[in-house]
C-alpha cells in the first residue's frame, strides 16, 4: 500500500507540472496587463492632483 501511494505521488508530480506551467504563464499575462493599465491611468491620476 505504501509503495502504491509513493508511486501515485511521483506520477502526479509529472502530470501537474504542465498545469503549473500554464498557471504561471496566465499569472504573468495578468500581471503584464495590470501594469499596462496602471501606466495608462497614471497620467490621468497625476492630472487630478495638479493644481489648476
pLDDT value, residue 36? 96
At residue 37, the pLDDT reads: 94
CA dihedral for 42, 45, 49, 52, sign (positive or negative) = positive
Q: Return the pLDDT at 45.
A: 78
- pLDDT band at residue 52 under the 50/70/90 scheme: low
Q: What is the CA radius of gyration of the chain?
A: 23
pLDDT at 44 over 90: no
DSSP state of 47: H
**Alpha-carbon dihedral 30, 35, 37, 43, rounded to 10 degrees:** 180
Domain boundaries defined on the chain: 1-52
2-43 tens-digit pLDDT: 899 888 888 888 888 999 999 999 999 999 999 999 999 888
Please report the pLDDT score of residue 22 as a whole number: 97
Amino acid at each position: 500500500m505504501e509503495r502504491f501511494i509513493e508511486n501515485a505521488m511521483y506520477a502526479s508530480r509529472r502530470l501537474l507540472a504542465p498545469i503549473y506551467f500554464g498557471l504561471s504563464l496566465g499569472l504573468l499575462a495578468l500581471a503584464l496587463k495590470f501594469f499596462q493599465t496602471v501606466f495608462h491611468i497614471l497620467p490621468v491620476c497625476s492630472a487630478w492632483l495638479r493644481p489648476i
